[in-house]
């Protein structure tokens, strides 16, 4: 008999009636000692189990090896970024005075409706999920087929995102197929002000894995790359993913630095955000084209060390509107560095003239990883669009690299079905 208070996210449990193992994705007490757990089966199918009186007689724990990765940090990072995106979505295209006029003198301080409902995310979170899917497909292919090419597989994932945006598919890449579980989530087919550069780059690409040749450094290049932090070579993976659509060095190098800072925080929990940023800049400062990103983040570190906290006026004066990659990264970083808690940091990041959802997402990724999933506001999470899919992806980022090394044929087949490496 398994009791509610014995269950934690990421536990492996079994239904003794059919002996099928299931991974716990999330659990939610629902009062009167009852609870509801969301689990995924071998093929990635989600289902919910209600525990009356806090127990189920047919459920039991499955012995398992300890996970190498910290799932709560990964989950906090991805959910935190999505919450920041959702918080900023209603004010994405507004000037600061317009935000004040609509939400009061302090600006937006809570989730507000966007795209017709509370908790809606934008194309930033959509593409983040497809980035994660590409990383997982590459990991599965490398372990099961012995070879992979990460930029091509991520590019293929972005082509599936392109299919969801109700635009014509790239005629040169007919091999793009609607396989895997992610594209079947109909919520991802909502069009949420997608980046024109992303759309044009994907529509015009003539080879999977080919880097974009435009001169764009829009922030849509790097707001999607947080999952790269939890895979090998995070800087390179993120820079390559960004370079698929954006050709300016400040775009793809900002993406690389973003993922690299997240990776350092994840790998060394005692490291501060300021120290992780300094360390990342020190290692990568001499890369060609890094000067704009380096200057923006150095300015943020100087402001932080001088105990200057961000506000809408100072953000605009020192860093701009966040429409380009290095600005968005700098704004999100500054707000995360000064945050009293998750909500405070995200609200600082979205209240300014500019790309509020992107800067909110960046701050949310930083703070979610630093604070963990348990520190995220539950009243926001209950409304978050795509929460279950984000939880599922975060779980697999922790589990899949571990699972594919076990040489279990049935599990390998299930993994390939979930993340086919084509």
Residue 52's Cβ-count burial label (10 Å; 0-12, 13-18, 19+) is exposed
- DSSP assignment of 340-406, as one string? SSHHHHHHHHHSSSS-HHHHHHHHHHHHHHHH-GGGS-HHHHTT-TTHHHHHHHHHHHHHHHHHTTS
CATH 2.30.30.30 fits 1-64, yes or no: yes
Q: Please, which pLDDT band fits residue 145 given cuts at 50, 70 and 90? A: confident
Contact assessment for residue 359 and residue 124, using Cβ atoms and an 8 Å cutoff:
no
What mean pLDDT comes out for the span 399-418? 72
Q: pLDDT tens for residues 342-396?
A: 999 999 999 999 999 999 999 999 999 999 988 999 999 999 999 999 998 998 8
Chain-wide mean pLDDT for the chain?
Answer: 91
- Hey, which CATH number is domain 71-381, 3.90.1560.10, 1.10.4080.10, 1.20.1300.10, 1.10.580.10? 1.10.4080.10
pLDDT digits (tens, 9 = 90+) for 249-278: 999 999 999 999 999 999 888 899 999 999
Domain boundaries, the chain: 1-64, 71-381
Number of CB atoms found within 10 A of residue 269's CB: 11
Euclidean distance between CA atoms 217 and 178, whole angstroms: 29
Give 304-348 pLDDT, tens digit per residue: 999 999 999 999 999 999 999 999 999 999 999 999 999 999 999
Residue with tokens 């087919």: 189
pLDDT at residue 69 tops 80:
no
Q: Which two tokens stand for residue 332?
A: 């999100």
């Amino acid at each position: 008999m398994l009791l509610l208070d014995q269950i934690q996210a990421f536990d492996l449990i079994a239904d003794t009636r059919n002996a099928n193992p299931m991974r716990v994705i999330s659990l939610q007490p629902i009062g009167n000692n009852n609870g509801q757990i969301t689990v995924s089966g071998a093929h990635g199918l989600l289902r919910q189990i209600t525990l009356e009186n806090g127990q189920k007689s047919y459920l039991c724990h499955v012995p398992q090896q300890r996970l190498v990765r910290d799932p709560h940090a990964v989950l906090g990072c991805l959910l935190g970024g999505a919450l920041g995106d959702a918080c900023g979505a209603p004010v994405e295209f507004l000037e600061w005075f317009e935000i004040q006029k609509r939400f009061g003198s302090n600006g937006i301080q809570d989730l507000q409706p966007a795209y017709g409902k509370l908790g809606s995310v934008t194309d930033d979170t959509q593409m983040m999920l497809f980035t994660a899917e590409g990383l997982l497909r590459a990991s599965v292919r490398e372990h099961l087929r012995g070879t992979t090419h990460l930029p091509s597989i991520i590019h293929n994932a972005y082509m599936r995102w392109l299919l969801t945006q109700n635009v014509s598919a790239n005629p040169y890449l007919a091999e793009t197929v609607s396989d895997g579980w992610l594209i079947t989530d109909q919520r991802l087919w909502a069009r949420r002000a997608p980046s024109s550069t992303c759309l044009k780059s994907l529509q015009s690409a003539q080879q999977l894995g080919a880097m974009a040749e435009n001169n764009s450094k829009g922030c849509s290049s790097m707001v999607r790359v947080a999952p790269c932090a939890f895979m090998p070579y995070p800087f390179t993976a993120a820079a390559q993913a960004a370079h698929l659509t954006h050709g300016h060095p400040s775009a793809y190098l900002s993406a690389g630095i973003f993922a690299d800072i997240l990776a350092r925080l994840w790998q060394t929990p005692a490291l501060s955000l300021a120290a992780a940023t300094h360390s990342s800049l020190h290692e990568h400062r001499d890369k060609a084209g890094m000067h704009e990103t380096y200057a923006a983040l150095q300015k943020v570190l100087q402001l932080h060390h001088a105990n200057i906290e961000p506000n809408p006026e100072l953000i605009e004066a020192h860093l701009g509107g966040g429409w380009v990659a290095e600005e968005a990264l700098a704004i999100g970083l500054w707000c995360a560095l000064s945050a009293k808690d998750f909500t405070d940091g995200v609200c600082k990041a979205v209240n300014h003239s500019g790309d509020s959802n992107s800067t909110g997402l960046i701050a949310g990724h930083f703070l979610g990883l630093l604070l963990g999933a348990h520190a995220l506001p539950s009243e926001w999470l209950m409304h978050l669009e795509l929460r279950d899919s984000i939880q599922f992806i975060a779980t697999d980022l922790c589990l899949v690299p571990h699972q594919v090394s076990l040489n279990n044929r049935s599990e390998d087949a299930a993994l390939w079905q979930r993340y086919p490496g084509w």
